[in-house]
Amino acid sequence: MKRLLRRKIFLVPSIVILFSFLLVCWFFLIPPSGIPPAKVLYVKKGMPLRQVGQLLQQEGVVRSKTFFILLATLLGEKALIKAGEYEFDSPMQPLRVLQTLVKGQVKRHLVTVPEGYTLDQIARLLEDQKIVDRDGFLQKATSPTLIASLDLPVNGSRLTDTLEGYLFPETYHLYRGMDPEEVIRSMVNQFKKVNGPELARETSRMGISESQAVILASIIEKETSVPEEKPLISAVFHNRLTRGMPLQSDPTVIYGIKNFNGNLTKEDLQRPTPYNTYVRTGLPPSPICNPGKDSLLAALHPAPVPYLYFVSKNDGSHHFSSEIEGHNRAVWNYQKNRKKNSLTKK
């Protein structure tokens, strides 16, 4: 009888220990079943561990918020969880879930910045994709401190006022809630990687500054989307600059008009803004967009042609002329049914 009692006394704690062990395994080591594919969660900055656990349990990523909180506390990682957007596309052990959050393995988004986008357009695009706040991005992109730290070409004797022209058009892997400065540095670094060595070498050969090359490339980018035409457009502008002729580029005029309504008028062409290349000779004071590789190459390698004029053929391409008489005939042929304020070179 005493032996039986001793066995029971021994058996009960053993059962409790075994049950506790199985319970720990169940909550800590075995992932929940039936988690929906591609479950996306957003952990806000400053979110308490209790709310993080509640969110994970609510979405079926972990079985118990209490055990998840206990796990994070025991491992000393309760304050190390990073904010961001996370994707759980398969059942995971709670420990792996915690490690994912602590390492900040956030969901990445492919964001394509088109060639020719302005600084403001890029800011709007990134805000639409929920990557950054537009105003925060623009503030950083015009910060003298940040700009000075990026080692960009000097425009004359001063640094550029904004990063217009140096945010390279590319497809980037970005994440929601990203620091605007991190995005900017990635884009500027890509600009340097793609254009840096050749930009410095070729501008020195041509006798122009690197910043002037970027300004010219931005105008070329806005004037045509046809790669084959870019060296021809570049030749027109180089020839005009050499002769002291105004560039007469409508995109530069538009860039200098705040809240442009889409209708370029004769009054606009006569308005004396720093970007009006109809009334001012030389290049505008800064880039008017962020040019791609083809436009930068074209700015450095103009075609060996004597063209001084070009006019839109209304199909995306242009007609080029060396003399004003031939240009006027082209304007009549291609623009005769258009309003007098159509986009033409004169």
Q: What is the CATH number of the domain that holds 53?
A: 3.30.1490.480
Report the number of distinct structural domains present in the chain: 2
Residue 322 counted as domain residue: no
In this structure, are 228 and 272 located in the same domain?
yes
**Beta carbons within 10 angstroms of residue 306's beta carbon:** 12
**Model confidence at 334: pLDDT above 90:** no
pLDDT in tens, 126-145: 999 999 999 999 999 999 99
Residue 275 counted as domain residue: yes
In this structure, are 213 and 69 located in the same domain?
no
> What per-residue confidence (pLDDT) applies to 204?
82
In this structure, are 154 and 300 located in the same domain?
yes
> What per-residue confidence (pLDDT) applies to 26?
47
In this structure, are 303 and 196 located in the same domain?
yes
Torsion of CA 89, 91, 92, 97, to 10 degrees: 50
In this structure, are 143 and 269 located in the same domain?
yes
Torsion of CA 342, 252, 243, 245, to 10 degrees: 50
**Model confidence at 34: pLDDT above 60:** no
Give the gyration radius of the chain's Cα atoms.
Answer: 31
pLDDT in tens, 92-128: 788 889 999 999 899 999 999 999 999 999 999 999 9
Percentage of the chain modeled with pLDDT above 70: 84
- Which comes out higher in pLDDT, residue 315 or 183? 183
In this structure, are 94 and 186 located in the same domain?
no
pLDDT in tens, 221-268: 999 999 999 999 999 999 999 999 999 999 999 999 988 888 999 999
Residue 141 counted as domain residue: yes
In this structure, are 133 and 277 located in the same domain?
yes
Residue 86 counted as domain residue: yes
As a residue count, the chain comes to 346
Q: Which domain holds residue 232?
A: 111-307
In this structure, are 54 and 126 located in the same domain?
no
